[in-house]
Amino acid sequence: MTKILFVTTQYRVGERIYPIIPKLSEQYNLDLVKLYQMNPQWKWPGNNDLRNNFDQQYLKYFNNVYDNINIDYKKYDLIITDDNRQFNGLSQIYQNCKCLLLACSHGVSEHKYEIKNKGVSYDRCFVFGRKEVTANHQIPAGIPANDKLYEYKDIEKKHILVIVNYLGNAGKISTGNGTYFKLFDKDVFDGIDLVSLQSQSRYPIVIKMKSRPDTNIERDTHYLSSILPKELKYSILYDVQDDNQLIAESVEVYSAPSTLALKSIQLGITTTLIPETGQTGIFYDYETNKKFIEDTLEGGKDFNSTKCFLNYIERCINEQR
């Protein structure tokens, strides 16, 4: 039976493709490599170790699980990595592999990982949608995790959601392109005018943060308390077990340009992107393109990105037989 090696490095990157694992296991033998933030030796920086979620849902589908890259690559017919960068052992895996290696998009980025890392950390790369495709090695396949959004289309709305990239206490954060991100500071939050929104809608505010290696929950909580209006009713979330549900329960979303924002747009939830707080990436035509989801997220319109992924993987396997 065909053997596939699945490589996972970072939960918030890999979670987009994890739902393909059960379906893959129906057709292929799967092994797993856990690296970087998914490695058991990594100290989780947030308030809920989401690696436990992964283990509970997906470990049963793998025959062998490794926590380093020193394995026998000759036995695999295909390798799938959750990221397309050169870091965290991915380049080394590519140098040692004896088969086709498919990588996945790191996220909404202007770093061109999906172009410049071909032949360095992958052979072919899954991208979100057809408008990103500029070369034959790029495969539009959407976000399989977003397919489940369909189940939440009619869920009760519970909050207004703010998706933060970097808070104002983070210092100067380079975009990598010679500029710096606009931070979610007092001016940005005042510009959203959460008090008025809350007064009009009567919904509480949820502020969604990212778990990063340097995350300090106490420091962030204190900072938000110091800049947000005292009368504002809000909560702060870091690690969320079901971000589809979190998004779907939002009556409105304010976000840095982020892959999470694709979920609310996909569901037709009013979504405001705050310029310069993230890399524009695939959102460059968000305000003008009436077919934004259709062009930006393969399978997004019909919630069938998983099928797009699986069809291409099967095609790759058949190519090598």
Question: What CATH code is carried by the domain that includes residue 128?
Answer: 3.40.50
SS3 for 101? strand
- pLDDT for 275 equals 95
Q: Are residues 226 and 284 in the same domain?
A: yes
Residue 84 buriedness (CB in 10 A; 0-12 / 13-18 / 19+): buried
**pLDDT, the chain, mean:** 95
Q: Are residues 262 and 314 in the same domain?
A: no
Maximum alpha-carbon separation in the chain: 64
Q: CB neighbours (10 Å) of residue 191?
A: 10
Range(s) of the domain holding residue 184: 149-296
Q: Are residues 216 and 137 in the same domain?
A: no
Q: How many domains does the chain have?
A: 2
Q: Are residues 81 and 123 in the same domain?
A: yes
Is the distance from CB of 125 to CB of 84 less than 8 angstroms? yes
Q: From residue 311, how far is each of 97, 141, 177, 319 by CA, in Å?
A: 22, 9, 35, 12
pLDDT at 1 over 90: no
Q: CB neighbours (10 Å) of residue 63?
A: 10
Measure the CA–CA gap between 56 and 169, rounded to whole angstroms: 35
Any idea which of 106-110, 170-174, 215-219 has the lowest mean pLDDT?
A: 106-110
pLDDT at 102 over 80: yes
- pLDDT for 104 equals 96
Q: Are residues 311 and 204 in the same domain?
A: no
Q: Are residues 182 and 236 in the same domain?
A: yes
Any idea which of 105-119, 123-137, 181-195, 281-295 has the lowest mean pLDDT?
A: 105-119
Q: What is the pTM of this model?
A: 0.93
Beta strands at 138-140 and 234-237: parallel, antiparallel or unpaired? unpaired
Q: Are residues 32 and 137 in the same domain?
A: yes
Q: Are residues 235 and 191 in the same domain?
A: yes
DSSP count for the chain of H helices, then E strands: 12, 12
**pLDDT, mean of residues 301-313:** 96
Q: Are residues 135 and 187 in the same domain?
A: no
- Using pLDDT thresholds of 50, 70 and 90, give the confidence band for residue 107: confident
Q: Are residues 135 and 242 in the same domain?
A: no
Q: Are residues 172 and 277 in the same domain?
A: yes
- Residues 268-298 have pLDDT tens digits of 999 999 999 999 999 999 999 999 999 999 9
Q: CB neighbours (10 Å) of residue 241?
A: 10
Q: Are residues 172 and 43 in the same domain?
A: no
pLDDT at 321 over 90: no
Is the distance from CB of 299 to CB of 305 less than 8 angstroms? yes
CA torsion sign for 211, 216, 222, 227 is: negative
**pLDDT, mean of residues 141-157:** 96
